[in-house]
Amino acid sequence: MIPILVLKLFLVPALIYIVTLIGRRWGPDAAGWFSALPIVAGPILLTMALEQGRGFVATAAGNTLLAVIAVLVFGLAYAWAARRFGVLGSMLCALGAYAAAVAGLQMVELPLLPGFALVVCLLMVTPRLFPPSEGAGARSARQPNDLLLRMLGGAALSFAVTCAAAGLGPRLSGFFAMFPVMGTILVGFSHYASGRAYAEGILRGMVRGYYAFATFCVVLSLALRERSVAVAFGVAAVAALVVQVVSRRGMKFVGGDPVRRV
């Protein structure tokens, strides 16, 4: 139990630290793209596999895949709400939309591969549903040094989600594993510190990165039916990294100068 607790408390904050620095070096698009890797849901699913077994997580991962749809709803709701509200109002709207999407998805039963196809189609459509872009957001030079607060917030939120997910059964646990921890922490803090355009840039980057996340979920669910936990997670991680590298093409921060701090 001690190694699992350490994983919960330290891995996610460390990854939030890395993603924040990526955003400050290469801009919000890069931060969002990188944060969409299974760096929160992956550890949560791993801890559930160690605590609940392979079969539990094979089912949960399929539902985590479908929960990508709810996170896309979260991002769109936040981007549109931010046109009228500040950080708190936008976050409440986004979390409300996420909860409604999860409630709707619980009534849907889809086999793994058709679910994967649906998620990929929605990932292709979602960028067109964001509000008109106001240009690349820039990190404010006057923002507070909030890295520690981001890390503490990420640790608390990830720990709470993991503990809640473990007792909810494989279906609802899968949805909870996809709770937008990174979206809540990164987007909320970035909106407050650097403005709406910067936060929206992170959300747009996340959509591009979720192809890798969807690949991770489908490969993990399939692999856990035949392989050990270590092998299944290793194969799923490699598959996600391959897709992530491919999705890097066309990103704004590739092949050009890093976004400058202003």
The DSSP letter of residue 168 is: S
CA dist., res. 96 & res. 94, Å (int): 5
pLDDT in tens, 134-159: 655 444 444 555 666 667 766 776 67
Q: What is the CA radius of gyration of the chain?
A: 17
d(CA 123, CA 143): 32
Which domain range does residue 242 map to?
2-247
> Which DSSP state fits 129?
G
What pLDDT digit, counting tens, does each position of 27-73 carry? 778 888 887 788 777 877 887 787 778 888 888 888 889 989 999 99
**pTM, rounded to two decimals:** 0.80
222 vs 217: CA distance, rounded Å:
9
Structure confidence by residue, pLDDT tens digits, 106-130: 888 888 999 999 999 999 999 999 9
The total domain count for the chain is 1
Alpha carbon distance 148, 88 (integer Å) = 20
Residue 198 lies in a domain: yes
Would you say residue 257 lies in a domain?
A: no
Residue recorded with tokens 């520690």: 148
Answer yes or no: is 252 within a domain: no
Contact between 192 and 17 (Cβ < 8 Å): no
Residues in the chain: 262
Task: Judge whether 256 lies within some domain.
Answer: no
Question: Cβ contacts of residue 2 below 8 Å, gap of 6+?
Answer: none
